[in-house]
Amino acid sequence: MRSIVFDTQALLVLYLGEAGSGEVEAYLERVSELKVRGYLNIINLTELYYILRRRNGSVAEEKERNLLSFGVRMVPVIHNSPLWKKAAAIKAGNALSLADAFAASTALLHKGTLVTGSDVEFEQVKDLKIERVGGNRKTE
């Protein structure tokens, strides 16, 4: 079964009602229908939550519940997992944020496609499959 990994930017497109929100919702519906496996790591969930919380704390809570209701699998960051070391290696060798390094690491380790917005920094990451939503889409 195909796997997709959500980057924070793609989820913000949905939850802030930006161009491409229908595309993100369609991905989440495919996860809910068990047509694809959907993943989000806890670092990117943290990033999503704090950005939404800055706008409105109750909205952040609501959007977290909404996201989980689709059946997106949460990927924890634990010491004996290769996730954090892969993220560190990506961050060390590329100019991207730590949260983006975790998103890329999650996609690579789960052999999935990263769903993101227009972040060009992901293009630096070797072997990363990307699907873009919203403006400036480019498929890798």
* For range 31-52, the mean pLDDT: 97
- CA–CA separation, 127 vs 108, rounded Å? 8
Q: Is 84 exposed, middle or buried (0-12, 13-18, 19+ CB in 10 A)?
A: middle
Predicted confidence at residue 119, as pLDDT, reads: 82
User: Is a pLDDT exceeding 90 seen at residue 64?
Assistant: yes
* Position with higher pLDDT, 90 vs 138: 90
* For range 61-67, the mean pLDDT: 93
* For range 94-104, the mean pLDDT: 95
- CA–CA separation, 68 vs 70, rounded Å? 5
Q: What are phi and psi of 114, to 5 degrees?
A: -85, 125
Query: What confidence tier does 118 reach under pLDDT thresholds 50, 70, 90?
Result: confident
User: Is a pLDDT exceeding 90 seen at residue 136?
Assistant: no
- Helix, strand, coil percentages, rounded to 5, for the chain: 55, 15, 35
Mind listing the pLDDT tens digit for each residue in 73-85?
999 999 999 999 9
Residue from 74, 64, 72, 76 nearest 31 by CA: 72
| Homologous superfamily (CATH) for 3-132 | 5'-nuclease (3.40.50.1010)
